[in-house]
Amino acid sequence: MELYKALKNQTESFEKPFKHWEVNKPLTTEAIKEICKADIPDPRKENLNYDGTRALDGGDGVFRKGIKDGGKAKNLRCYITRENSHKFPHLVKLINELRSKEVHKLLSEKIEKDLSNSYVRLEVISDREGFWLKPHCDIKEKLISSIIFVNPFNESENLGTDFYDEKLNKIKTVPYKENYGYFFTSGPNTWHGMEKKEIKKERRCIQVNYVSFETDWKVNN
């Protein structure tokens, strides 16, 4: 259980600008390959201009109620579902590890929220040239928000997620490193985003959430 091992032994907690954890090497080599090979639509070919709202899942950036299906963003991401799971056997293994009692209990203890009735949602994301993301707080339904980066094109570590304080001053950037990521529980002061930065080819990652609404992947108890 690569993820469980990383959460137990390769995770560091931080208090500023809000409580969060960074985790090193949570993914298997096989899972990374599937993330890199996933077919993600290129918004530039859809004549879409980035407006800083990749999520498109609830409007304003404040802590808010979201749209269950991800809104327009679903057309720019690859959600792992029962329907397409045969294409991603190693990401399904990761999902099943996230669903396991050992993992969700460990995470529940860290974030001090009960995940025993939650669902897992995992999506593969590919951000291209021109992408940026306004400071925002995630929707209330996201009990855990997590991004895990893969960096197949040796992009700058500066392409990681920016974290802000309540006055929207940037406090830190989680580095965009291969097989490295972070997680936190959503709340009214968990402002994060990404300033406009140079993406030479592609910023690829997965977003992992434990959510309160139904997905194909309910946690095990």
Residue 117 structural domain: 2-218
- Give start and end residues of each alpha helix (H) in the chain: 2-9, 29-37, 89-99, 101-111
What does the block give as tokens for 14? 């931080």
Are 114 and 144 contacting, i.e. CB atoms less than 8 angstroms apart? Answer: no
Give the CATH number of the domain where residue 173 resides. 2.60.120.620
pLDDT, tens digit, for every residue of 68-77? 544 445 556 7
Candidates 136, 185, 139, 133; CA nearest to 160 is 133
Phi, psi dihedrals of residue 47, rounded to the nearest 5°: 60, 40
Lowest-confidence pick of 64-68, 192-196, 200-204, 206-210: 64-68
pLDDT at residue 63, as a whole number: 44
pLDDT at residue 53, as a whole number: 57
> Domains in the chain: how many in total?
1
Q: Residue 87 pLDDT > 80, yes or no? A: yes
Instruction: Tokens 């802000």: give the residue.
Output: 164
Average pLDDT over residues 157-163: 98
Sequence letter at residue 115:
L
pTM of the complete model beyond 0.85: yes
pLDDT, tens digit, for every residue of 16-40? 999 999 999 999 999 999 999 998 8
